[in-house]
Chain A
Amino acid sequence: MPRRDDISTILVLGSGPIVIGQACEFDYSGTQACRVLREEGYRVVLVNSNPATIMTDPGLAHRTYVEPLVPDVVAAIVERERPDAVLPTMGGQTALNLAVALHSSGVLERFGVELIGASLEAIRTAEDRERFKEAMTEIGLAVPDSGFAHDLDEALAIGEAVGFPAMVRPSFILGGAGTGIARDSAELAELARAGLAASPVSEILVERSIAGWKEYELEVMRDRADNCVVVCSIENFDPMGVHTGDSITVAPAQTLSDVEYQAMRDAALACIRRVGVETGGSNIQFAVDPATGQRLVIEMNPRVSRSSALASKATGFPIAKIAARLAVGYTLDEIANDITKATPASFEPTIDYVVTKVPRWAFEKLPGVADRLGTRMQSVGEVMAIGRTFPESLQKALRGLEQGRLGLNCDPAEARLEACSTEELLERARVATPERPFEVEALLRREVPVERVAEATGIDPWFLDRIEEIVEGRRLLDGLARAGAGALAGVPASTWRRLKRLGFSDAQIAWRLEVEEREVRVARLAAGVAATFKTVDTCGAEFAAETPYYYSTYEEEDEVRPAEKPRVVILGSGPNRIGQGIEFDYCCVHASQALREAGYETVMVNCNPETVSTDYDTSDRLYFEPITEEDVLGVLEAERSAGAGGVVGVIVGLGGQTPLKLAGRLGPGQVLGTSPESIDAAEDRERWAALCARLEIPQPAGGVARSLAEARAVAERIGYPVLVRPSYVLGGRAMEIVYDDQGLEEAMAQLQGKGSLGREGGLSAERPVLVDRFLEDAVEVDVDAVRDSAGEVLIGGVMEHVEEAGVHSGDSACAIPPPTLSAETVAVLEGYTASIAGALEVVGPLNVQYAVKSGQVFVIEANPRASRTVPFVSKATGVPLARVAARLMLGATLAELRAEGMLASAVAPGASAVAPGARSRNVSVKEAVLPFDRFPGVDALLGPEMRSTGEVMGVAPTFGLAFAKSQIAAGNRLPESGLVLFSLADRDKPQGLLAARSFAELGFSIAATEGTAEYLEDNGVAVATRVAKIGEGGAARGLPDAVELIAGDGVRLVVNTPRGRGSRADGAYIRRAASANRVPILTTVAAARAAAAGIADWARLGLSVTSLQEHQELLVGPEGAPPARARTGEEAPKR
């Protein structure tokens, strides 16, 4: 069946900011969908609030709305664009929920919009637990039985019905309190009693427990002719009980016999047919009892998902791309397999390797959260590795995580397990944590039998047996280590091959043999054992593959094909983590696009399956490899032998800290753009201070400390408060503002051995701590710029932060153009940036952070690499900064790019892309999205340690409106009226007064804690409700306390500033109450003032939506020409 001609405009819904559970896999799928639909000649309208995505590049859709993903905003877009159809299956749960909301509000019907990809009926059947259960029962598939109980009798009756063991989960309980597993009715009675008491609504869910069962997922596709294929099977290493997003998962399924697998396949096809997903992909989760093989359906997602991104990368079968084609009417057999070109997509990929995904968590950034894994997803990113066997892929994945591990133990970090007794280790391994795989290896190394480890962990013995093979490899290494010095030279090729086939990294081997990694590499290569690269081809080599998508392993044949052009290797950013996420992937993808256009072959190296960069058609060649010295050198060697112009160099400056760390290890002359020498000059505290002094750019007073005594000495010299931060970290890791000696002591302890940074390498002579005077009440400013090899500097954007200095720039909202900075200040900022770029001889991107206090500009730090804000700046200004930077790194000059049209002539030499206010009729605001709703135990306050997972952008004619939009997009909808609760630290009261006054003028009632209330009333702001702080005996005086007031549903917004000393503990209660009751909370006065401005403008101007294309049209230069439009190489709409 050919494409549908009865629709012409399609609205694609994105997934919004990166949050836990919904990450850049939806940028990958949405980007593919937009591309495909455009290729098919449809007019594509996209809405997504996340500016860091590739999908929101203005060239990918005809109309791109970077607007909040909420029903009224999307309805306004529908009204404006009049799409014929909405595709809701590419944007995760957010998009599905939006689709349902648009239906319920009648918008779809009113504007005659059809849902494609999944019908409303299908969405509802899959999403509603009861309906799903009914549907599955109807087709003879079993689901775990469960029921809600409101009293003991009801609980016991459900318990009898569902069978034991039964899981009890109280409703509306944060942090899993009161959850447990009952083995019989007596235990159930006990748990139910406690659970009912714990639940605020006296409700518990009693469910048949399947914890410990094996967990599987199948990725299924269906077309409108009812052709169905299973793209990939996935087996979880961790048994049921750990969220699949937090599980180590392996493709294909390893321990199912064909009889069981085919029965599961039959069930999956029956499920997708019954749920009624007519066109597209779904993933279906199963639990299997390891003792009997009994199989239950757990859930079904009628859309592309994190697993389908993984399955696409794991097999080479592009699920989202094909799902988009199916949604517009094609059938699977009409679509060619991209990889073989010769065969159709209506087949089931077969793979001849093993894929392992390992999640990455951020517990170190969330003090107070136990690193215990459960049914709620907590990971922020993931790494995928491909190896010919499970041991190889597991060890590759673990070293790709970049958490200081070189593989599955056999590294310095294993020492902390060595101290545990075997019994202790076994007890620990009973609980799923990020450490469990390492504990398992240690147990097996201590010769604890596989059976016992399996019993303790629920991990299938097959996986454990494979880990035991790694243990045997380790013993081989131990033997070599005993042989002492010189052992390396005598290691036979067969031993090398065995170790490398088990996935041991050179670094692990070097650690065990107490030699340098480089020596291992030399000895190994001398023995003739080098990495070979194999192709991911969907078909187990049955057909020739057209797509150069490779992974390394240790085999007899290398498949890297000869190249045709000189190549540029781009190192990606590895797994997403807080501080380094999709923004860097965006930069790498842009570099690849720009350099392909410029006539190079691009070679991408990355290991993050969620990303666009690891899409096999983003670059000319893709190596799915960990970003480590060994793996990158392997790729470089392979590419050097591929001929035709060789490797021009490696780009390390666009993927964040990950590739930057390798800059010095790639060999002389390999790094393109800014030299490793300059990178070091910016990072090295003393050299940097000297450089600033030479340039006469003021820095806050500060110093370097390698011990507490040195830190104290610095603090004494410069005075408190001070900002303490380790060097060579990203995302403000372990950064803290301290106000006194005690605080300094605590902060330094955190950085040493036992502290949270200890496991990441800790404090050392090579990694000193920077201690700087903290500038209170300063405005923080980020400047992104690029410089070419001829010395010309282009200022990409000057971003003024909403939150004052001290809140990590990644967690702070910021605006372009800067709303409060004077033109003189902006000129100073631009001038400093240009001088720094020159002094560091930057070739490519540069980000400089400044603090502006009382009109004086201080430089905080400079990073000669792409920053987190590059995508935002590019979207706000229309200047494709990452593309420009990549070209400059390859030697192009800004003048040349201007001549090419990549930068419009309006951007004069030395000028900024957007001068403050002058050329833009819109203000763009970026807001951070924080993960606090996932971690109820964590205090929701902002500080110098970055904790946001993603960002959104609001574009509007005024700062207030853009800020309000950014808040809505971040899930923090500002109220239009009602009660605002203020609780301010003393130092915030003068500024807080201004905010409170604005709210009062807007008609809000003010509530305030006692001290704040007094201050406000003394200054003429009426306080309607006074509340007591916790523990101050307010009740005795007849005052409600803040928590009661918030819980009582009266408060619409909370402004609580915790900075400084004293108010911390009290504020935490208020903030937690606000989170629990879903009341928006602002923790800085600056944000409160911005919110007041936003609410005022919202009331005055109302909601309006504008596309990025229109916004960038407005960026009119002095001569009337649009400056620096992104050149996308894509033509205007066909229809």
Chain B
Amino acid sequence: MRARHPEALVVLADGTTFRGEAFGALASGEATVATGELVFNTAMSGYQEIVTDPSYAGQVIAFTYPHIGNYGVSPADEESGRPYCRGIVVRDLASRPSSWRAEGDLESFLEAHGLGGVCGVDTRRLTRHVREVGAMPCALGTAPEGELLLAAKAEPGTEGVDLVGEVTTAAPYEVPGGPLRVVAYDFGVKATMLRSLSSFATVEVVPATTPADEVLASRPDGVLLSNGPGDPAALSHLVATVRELLGEVPVFGICLGHQLVAAALGASTYKLHFGHHGANHPVRRLSTGTVEVTSQNHGYAVDPGSLERAPEAVEVTHVNLNDGVVEGIECRGLRAFAVQYHPEAGPGPHDARYLFGRFRDLMERSETAGRRP
């Protein structure tokens, strides 16, 4: 008989409790506790990419799809060197992965990184609750309910917290690739994003705190502002860096990078009720009217009203068809464009990969046109 997991709870800061069983690191101790902001992700595959996506730093991920871990884990699917999320909540954890690609199982993988989660949970009830009350701090583990509730209430969540420092690279490194030279600001960059760039560029990945003039001095063909965790409003120092870059070099922002570009242009951001976390979001590309099915992972978004007040002419290029959230902007004058969603996918559909081509074109055009003074 397979090992049974110890009973555990997921307790939200509002006191709502979900029953389940602890696994991974949460199953190993006497009375375990993990905390984080609870979000749900609706993708049906790609749990390893999601778990290792640095943008989930500070968060606990609940998967709406009930069977998680089915095809195990593979180093090829890691979006970063380790999971940055604080734990996961699932309905059913596969005890035996099945895939020719698998090199291990999800539970052992999490445990190796000191992480765990709770399984057997009515994740649909949880999702419906979060849908109603919004993303919220939670605590999970085998500790008594009271202790978990206190931990959940003590958990700061993501609002106003700078989480980028937790996930950015300590030192610059190079990803070899194509002839163009791109500097990628690592706010929590995903491996697939770097892979996508490397098909046409050699990528210098730099820490989030790298000064703009240092980057500009290296005369790159373009700068990528990566995805990353948390609240953009807590990152004014990065906004300042981006402001210095804009206009000097072609800039492509993704996710947090998109929010930082918008902020640098004078726009403001706000927290979404429960965010967009999934692989099925329809986004309209306004220039063609066509729809892209996109991979998304963000809890904050750009306020469209504030964009209109921006001093530079900023065009909204992409809009989420579910709720109208701004999904892409462009500032032609400054050779900058950005999208809120994940064109690199990983996980998710590849419909928006053309955006990397656009970045390449932008850089190549800038090259022929000669750099601006």
A binding-site residues for B, Cβ under 8 Å: 225-227, 229, 252-262, 265-266, 290-293, 331-333, 342-344, 346-354, 388-390, 450, 460-462, 465, 468-469, 472, 475, 534, 539-544, 555-557, 559
Residues of B with C-beta under 8 A to A343: 282, 321-322
B66 touches which one: A354, A475, A544, A557 (CB < 8 A)?
A: A354
- CB of A388 within 8 A of CB of B66, answer yes
Give 4 nearest A-B pairs by CB, closest first: A258-B46, A258-B347, A540-B64, A557-B125
Residues of B with C-beta under 8 A to A352: 42, 64-66, 91, 123-124, 127
- B91: nearest residue on chain A (CB-CB)? A388
Given A229-B293, A254-B67, A556-B18, A472 contacting B1 (CB threshold 8 A) = yes
> In the assembly, what is the distance between CA of A291 and CA of B99, in Å?
8
- CB of A543 within 8 A of CB of B322, answer yes
Of B69-77, B198-206, B221-229, B335-343, which stretch is located at the interface?
Answer: B69-77
Minimum C-beta distance from B97 to chain A (A)? 8
- CB of B291 within 8 A of CB of A227, answer yes
> In the assembly, what is the distance between CA of A261 and CA of B348, in Å?
9
Minimum C-beta distance from A900 to chain B (A)? 42
- CB of A460 within 8 A of CB of B98, answer yes
Given A257-B101, A344-B321, A540-B127, A462 contacting B348 (CB threshold 8 A) = no
Residue interface mask B16-53, A partner, CB < 8 A = 1: 00110000000000000000000010111110110000
Residue from A388, A462, A465, A544 with most neighbouring chain B CB atoms (10 Å): A462
- A353: nearest residue on chain B (CB-CB)? B66
> In the assembly, what is the distance between CA of A676 and CA of B98, in Å?
50
- CB of A347 within 8 A of CB of B321, answer yes
Residues of B with C-beta under 8 A to A257: 45-46, 48, 71, 74, 77, 99, 101
A-B CB contact pairs (8 Å), 18 listed: A225-B290, A262-B345, A293-B100, A346-B293, A347-B280, A348-B293, A350-B65, A353-B66, A388-B91, A462-B98, A468-B2, A540-B124, A541-B124, A541-B127, A542-B278, A543-B131, A555-B122, A555-B125
Residue interface mask B87-125, A partner, CB < 8 A = 1: 000011011111111000000000000000000001111
Residues of B with C-beta under 8 A to A462: 70-71, 94, 96-98
- B321: nearest residue on chain A (CB-CB)? A344
Minimum C-beta distance from A18 to chain B (A)? 33
Minimum C-beta distance from A417 to chain B (A)? 22
> In the assembly, what is the distance between CA of A331 and CA of B92, in Å?
37
> In the assembly, what is the distance between CA of A256 and CA of B46, in Å?
9
Consensus secondary structure, chain B interface: loop
- CB of A347 within 8 A of CB of B67, answer no
> In the assembly, what is the distance between CA of A332 and CA of B289, in Å?
11
Q: Is B298 an interface residue (CB 8 A)?
A: no
Q: Chain B interface: which size bin?
A: 35 or more
Minimum C-beta distance from B12 to chain A (A)? 14
- CB of A557 within 8 A of CB of B124, answer yes
- B73: nearest residue on chain A (CB-CB)? A257
Consensus secondary structure, chain A interface: loop
Minimum C-beta distance from A438 to chain B (A)? 21
Given A266-B350, A332-B291, A347-B280, A557 contacting B96 (CB threshold 8 A) = no
B binding-site residues for A, Cβ under 8 Å: 1-2, 18-19, 40, 42-46, 48-49, 64-67, 70-71, 74, 76-77, 91-92, 94-101, 122-125, 127-128, 131, 278-282, 284, 289-291, 293, 321-322, 345-350
- B66: nearest residue on chain A (CB-CB)? A388
Given A257-B77, A257-B99, A351-B65, A252 contacting B44 (CB threshold 8 A) = yes
> In the assembly, what is the distance between CA of A543 and CA of B291, in Å?
20
Residues of A with C-beta under 8 A to B43: 258, 350
> In the assembly, what is the distance between CA of A539 and CA of B65, in Å?
10
Minimum C-beta distance from B223 to chain A (A)? 27
Given A351-B65, A352-B64, A344 contacting B282 (CB threshold 8 A) = yes
Residue from A225, A332, A343, A346 with most neighbouring chain B CB atoms (10 Å): A346
- CB of B321 within 8 A of CB of A540, answer no
B128 touches which one: A292, A354, A557 (CB < 8 A)?
A: A557
Minimum C-beta distance from A757 to chain B (A)? 39
Residues of B with C-beta under 8 A to A390: 67
Residue from B19, B74, B349 with most neighbouring chain A CB atoms (10 Å): B349
Residues of A with C-beta under 8 A to B46: 257-258
Residues of B with C-beta under 8 A to A291: 100
Residues of A with C-beta under 8 A to B125: 555-557
- CB of B49 within 8 A of CB of A258, answer yes
Minimum C-beta distance from B20 to chain A (A)? 10
Residues of A with C-beta under 8 A to B71: 255-257, 462
- CB of A461 within 8 A of CB of B74, answer no
6 A-B pairs besides A352-B42, A389-B91 with CB distance below 8 A are A266-B350, A344-B322, A348-B279, A348-B293, A350-B44, A534-B124
Residues of A with C-beta under 8 A to B122: 555-557
Minimum C-beta distance from A224 to chain B (A)? 11
- CB of A351 within 8 A of CB of B44, answer yes
Residues of B with C-beta under 8 A to A559: 128
Given A255-B71, A257-B74, A465 contacting B96 (CB threshold 8 A) = yes
Residues of A with C-beta under 8 A to B100: 290-293
> In the assembly, what is the distance between CA of A135 and CA of B45, in Å?
29
Residues of B with C-beta under 8 A to A252: 44, 65
- A556: nearest residue on chain B (CB-CB)? B122
> In the assembly, what is the distance between CA of A450 and CA of B95, in Å?
13
- CB of A539 within 8 A of CB of B347, answer no
Given A256-B71, A350-B280, A472-B2, A540 contacting B65 (CB threshold 8 A) = yes
Residues of B with C-beta under 8 A to A349: 280
> In the assembly, what is the distance between CA of A349 and CA of B291, in Å?
15
> In the assembly, what is the distance between CA of A292 and CA of B131, in Å?
40
- A254: nearest residue on chain B (CB-CB)? B70
- B345: nearest residue on chain A (CB-CB)? A262
- A259: nearest residue on chain B (CB-CB)? B77
> In the assembly, what is the distance between CA of A92 and CA of B67, in Å?
34
- CB of B321 within 8 A of CB of A346, answer yes
- A263: nearest residue on chain B (CB-CB)? B350
- B320: nearest residue on chain A (CB-CB)? A343
Minimum C-beta distance from B8 to chain A (A)? 13
- A557: nearest residue on chain B (CB-CB)? B125
Residues of B with C-beta under 8 A to A255: 70-71, 98-99
